[in-house]
Amino acid sequence: MSKVLTVISDYYKDIAGLLLVGAKEELDDKGVQYDELYVPGAFEIPAAIVFSIMSDRSSYNGYLALGCVIRGETDHYHYICKRVIGSLGEIAIQHSVPLGMGVITADSKERASARADKNQKNVGGNAALAVLRMMEIYNQFLK
């Protein structure tokens, strides 16, 4: 049976909750097991995924990154977004692991909430579907 590690940034707890609802619905619907791992912010998501990949105790077939970065008054937003998104892409390629990217980058909390809500953009659900599809492709070529 397939198993996914869902790494969730709980910096914006309400948005993380919305992302997780959408993701869980898709994973449950497909009968995929998952564990949830909470990290303090979006910046910590890639490191947590790499820790799992490098662990000899890891039993995951895929990884799901869920979180949110909202633009503030400084350039911090740009640096965090670039590093988080870039790192997730590098992890997927360099470690050859299926990874779903559900990290929202938004100008406001209202826009982020709309993107996270399963009844609107459903970023969490779409990221879960993406990791499941990548797991299929991985199995097609590498198993």
Spatial distance between the Cα atoms of 43 and 109, rounded to a whole number of angstroms: 18
Q: How confident is the model at residue 143 (pLDDT cuts 50, 70, 90)?
A: confident
Judged against a pLDDT cut of 90, whether residue 58 lies above it is answered with: no
Spatial distance between the Cα atoms of 35 and 84, rounded to a whole number of angstroms: 21
The whole-number average pLDDT for the span 110-123 is 98
Judged against a pLDDT cut of 90, whether residue 43 lies above it is answered with: yes
Spatial distance between the Cα atoms of 92 and 108, rounded to a whole number of angstroms: 28
Least confident range from 24-33, 53-62, 90-99: namely 53-62
Question: Do 32 and 2 contact (CB within 8 A), yes or no?
Answer: yes
For position 36, what pLDDT does the model report? 98
Task: Give the strands of the sheet with 33-39, arranged side by side.
Answer: 33-39, 3-9, 62-70, 99-106
- Tell me whether residue 78 is one of the annotated catalytic residues: no
State the catalytic residue, choosing from 14, 28, 51, 76: 76
Query: Partners of 99 in the beta sheet?
Result: 63
Q: How confident is the model at residue 73 (pLDDT cuts 50, 70, 90)?
A: confident
Q: How confident is the model at residue 56 (pLDDT cuts 50, 70, 90)?
A: confident
- The pLDDT > 70 percentage for the chain reads 100
Spatial distance between the Cα atoms of 83 and 46, rounded to a whole number of angstroms: 9
Q: Tens of pLDDT along 75-90?
A: 889 999 999 999 999 9
Cite the DSSP H helix spans in 1-143.
13-29, 45-54, 76-94, 109-116, 123-142
Residue 13: both structure tokens together: 């707890």
Question: Do 111 and 15 contact (CB within 8 A), yes or no?
Answer: no
- The residues spanned by each domain of the chain are 3-142
Spatial distance between the Cα atoms of 9 and 44, rounded to a whole number of angstroms: 8
Residue 47: both structure tokens together: 């490191």
Work out the number of other CB atoms within 10 angstroms of the CB of residue 143.
Answer: 7
**3-142: CATH number:** 3.40.50.960
Q: How confident is the model at residue 57 (pLDDT cuts 50, 70, 90)?
A: confident
Query: Partners of 70 in the beta sheet?
Result: 106
